[in-house]
Structure 1
Amino acid sequence: METLLLNKDDVSENVRMPELIPAVEDAFAAYETGDAQMPAKSYIDLPQYNGDFRSMPAYLDAGDWDAAGIKWVNVHPDNPDDFDLPTVMGTMVYSDPENAYPLAIMDGTELTMQRTGAAAAVATDYLAVEDASSFGVVGAGVQSYTQLEAIAAVRDVEEVVVSDVDDEAVQRYVDHFADRFDVRAGSISEAGHCDVLSTVTPVRDPIVSPEDVGERTHVNAMGADAEGKHELADDLLLDAKLVIDDHAQTTHSGEINVPYGEGVLADEDIYGEVGELVTGQKDGRTPEDGVTVFDSTGLAIQDVAAAHVAYEHAREHGNGYDFDLLGV
């Protein structure tokens, strides 16, 4: 047997939103119904290198298919300046659940970007107004691109507003999508008054207030992935219909971690988990809803679902490089 090696381009080519979004939705459903195992994300802190490692294992049974894997990912903020390397890099090991054979080793960085967008799309599909046609994004880094790609797969996006303190990053974003959308630079408030807003920044002091969003805006809070990170004002979170991906992770390192830890926001302020919407246990958007918020920390089940899509399509298309990892 051979193991398939997939680099960034291979992953990008074989993980497409039309297939990825339903796979991630299946993963949320499996987790909610108890058909998934996902131990808590573990951290190795390396203060001497201003960085950390995170391990994210999971198994899920989606009915028609099951999958297992683990992502090994880092966050080293000094990498771009000191080593000309990305701040975040990931490696995904995708295994056969039946016999544990390593079916593939693939780039986890591209995989993470794609599945993060897909998770936002799942939540958006349940929580945004049906006729949403405008999308705003705060933060023009790498994650912002797949946010638009994914949201446009579930809503008919026409207008896009991007906001960032880095004018060059904003211009790159505008140029990238100019031939597909009516996209322009704008303030946080202009982005926030779109029908759907995604925030993808690393800030620790909230930058989006209740006044910065529209009366029926759906917000995907995607930036917080560690303790202390916090993009949305507490009042905005408290006034919104708040949906999370996983209670343990969001209270530890998601958008709500700061107000939850301070006792400002409690369990009764959380409407539910996205898996409850997917499985029909709780309603998504209703006519009475105003602002809705999805707090996404990124779950290992999403990585496994994305790896499943990447592997199956790569085999179908003959992409990647086969090598004899185990010699069996």
Structure 2
Amino acid sequence: MATRDDQVNLNPNPTITQPIFISTPTLHSLLTHKTLIHHLQNALPSLSPTIQSPIRQTHQTSPNSSLLLMPSWSVSPSLPYIGVKLVTYHPNNSSLNLPGVHASYILFNSLTGQTLASTDATELTLYRTSCVSALASKYLSRNESEVLVMVGAGSLASHLIKAHLTVRPSVKRVVVWNRTTEKARILVEKLRGGGEYEDVCFESRGCLEEVVGLGDIVSCATNSETPMVKGAELKEGAHLDLVGSFTSSMRECDDEAIGRGRVFVDNEAALVEAGELVGAFERGVITRDQIAGNLVELMKGEKVGRTDEREVTVFKSVGSAVVDLLSAQFVYETYVNDEVHE
């Protein structure tokens, strides 16, 4: 199955006889960050109003782990699907050299209820999360951004770096910081050895305070409960991308970072789930009315993104079942179309 770098003509009504399983290796053969960004750019503004997506259910399965259920379904004939993502979160997995997040996605036909596909969605979640950040960056980071700072070196970090480089080819330097410096070094070596970015300099640094001030784009993917990024250290015109937190106790930046920037969110759930925002509301740093908009509003032109070169912008994402459904649609229909043409 060929990897796609251009638009795929998806068939909205593929016909199959048996449910399929899409493994991670197969997933890698079906999409790239570029193709998924392109699909979301086209589909999200028009189809998101047709998708019903209840607030995710979160169940504490132990003091340090949880189970999340994320259902969604579309009422549009062009998107005849019901989907559910099941996610487990085990933050202590880093000590076992395992991802902290694992996921499966089940896709159904919304007309018949037929099970269409089961996808190993751990990797799919990494793709969709990073591509959402990259889409936001198209509207919020400076066009001539040259330095990307990656805070965190977990499984999401390489995806975020690749997605941001896709929409901002002007970036020529990527600096990675992680609490465990060896993990940052390993990620940098992996990126250098990939052969995809010969014109980009990858490096790791040990002092976060020095690193943050370098970034035209600062992307954070940690499970920290204490602020990592200080607003005073952000350079003029920086774009801050906050990905890691999805509970009110998690917090990747301080109040000054929120107060300095025009803040956008991926969806309304961020207002009640993201620790950076929940805490800022409680402490009177900003009000909900001061949130500048969400991603779909940016994409539709209903909200203005970056207004000048000096402005600090902030994008906070917590994940969306809407984007999950559209990502699963892209993977499933690409797979079926491949099978039809082979």
Q: Same fold (TM over 0.5)?
A: yes
Task: Provide Cα deviations, 1:126-183, integer angstroms capped at 9, x if missing partner.
Answer: 1111112221110011111100111111111211011111111111111111142201
Query: For residues 312 and 121 of structure 1, do their structure 2 counterparts lie closer, same or farther at Cα, with a shift above 3 Å needed?
Result: same
Look up the match of 1:193. 214
CA distance in 1, matches of 2:139, 2:78: 23
CA 1:13 to 1:154, structure 2 compared with 1: closer, same or farther past 3 Å? same
Aligned mates of 1:122, 1:264 — CA distance in 2: 27
After superposition, the Cα gap between the structure-2 partners of 1:68 and 1:255, relative to the gap in structure 1 and judged at 3 Å, is farther
Match of 1:264 in 2: 285
Alignment of 1:1-328 (within 5 A): 1-26=17-42, 28-30=44-46, 34-47=49-62, 50-60=64-74, 65=79, 67-79=81-93, 86-156=99-169, 157-178=171-192, 179=195, 180=197, 181-186=200-205, 187-188=207-208, 189-253=210-274, 255-287=276-308, 290-318=311-339
CA deviation profile, 1:8-42 (whole Å, cap 9, x unmatched)? 1112221212221133334542476x322110000
Question: Partners of 1:131 and 1:193 in 2: how far apart?
Answer: 14
Shift of residue 242 of structure 1? 0.4
Using the aligned pairs only, state the percent identity: 26
Secondary structure at 1:264 match in 2: coil
> How far has the Cα of 1:280 moved from its partner?
1.0
Residue aligned with 1:71, SS: strand
Spell out, residue by residue over 1:252-285, the C-alpha distance to the aligned partner (whole angstroms, 9 max, x if none): 2353122224443311321111111111111111
Structure with bigger RCO (C-alpha 8 Å, 6+ apart):
1
Preserved CA contact (<8 Å) 1:125 1:154: yes
| Number of residue pairs aligned between Structure 1 and Structure 2 | 316
Contact 1:240–1:293 (CA<8 Å) still a contact in 2?
yes
CA contact (8 A) 2:80 2:111 kept: no
Does the CA-based 8 Å contact 1:163-1:191 persist in structure 2?
A: no
For the residues of structure 2 that align with 1:63 and 1:99, how far apart are their CA atoms? 13
Going from structure 1 to structure 2, the CA distance change for 1:154 and 1:67 (only over 3 Å counts) comes to farther
Cα deviation digits, residues 296-323 of structure 1 (max 9, x gap): 001011111111121122223349xxxx
Does the C-alpha gap of structure 1 residues 260 and 292 become closer, same or farther in structure 2, counting only changes over 3 Å?
Answer: same
Counterpart amino acid of residue 184 in structure 2? V
- CA contact 1:202–1:229 (8 Å) conserved in 2: yes
State the distance in 2 between where 1:266 and 1:242 align: 11
Q: How far, CA to CA, are the matches of 2:87 and 2:274 in structure 1?
A: 16
Counterparts of 1:112 and 1:46, CA distance in 2: 21
Point out where structure 1 has 5 or more consecutive residues left out of the alignment.
320-328
User: 1:210–1:87: structure 2 CA closer, same or farther, 3 Å change rule?
Assistant: closer
State whether residues 254 and 297 of structure 1, in contact with CA within 8 Å, keep that contact through their aligned partners in structure 2. no
Amino acid at match of 2:203: R
Deviations 1:201-243 (A, max 9, x none): 1111111112321101111100111221011110110120100
How far apart, CA to CA, are the structure 2 residues paired with 1:200 and 1:22? 23
- Range moving further from structure 2, 189-198 or 238-247: 189-198
* Structure 1 residues 30 and 41: alpha-carbon distance in aligned structure 2, compared to 1, 3 A threshold: farther
More divergent stretch after superposition (15-24 vs 220-229): 15-24
Partners of 2:99 and 2:41 lie apart in 1 by 29
CA distance in 2, matches of 1:261, 1:98: 44
SS at match of 2:269: helix
Structure 1 residues 279-288 or 20-29, which shifts more? 20-29
Post-superposition CA distance 1:88-128 (Å, at most 9, x none): 21010012223222211011100100001100011000111
Asked if 1 retains the 8 angstrom alpha-carbon contact of 2:237 and 2:309, the reply is no
Give the RMSD, CA atoms, in angstroms.
2.3
Q: CA deviation at 1:191?
A: 4.1
| Compared CA separation, residues 66 and 277, structure 1 to 2 (3 A) | farther
CA contact (8 A) 1:138 1:199 kept: yes
8 Å CA contact 1:139, 1:201 repeated in 2: yes
**TM-score in terms of structure 1 length:** 0.89
TM-score normalised by length of structure 2: 0.85
What is the SS of the residue equivalent to 2:158? Answer: helix
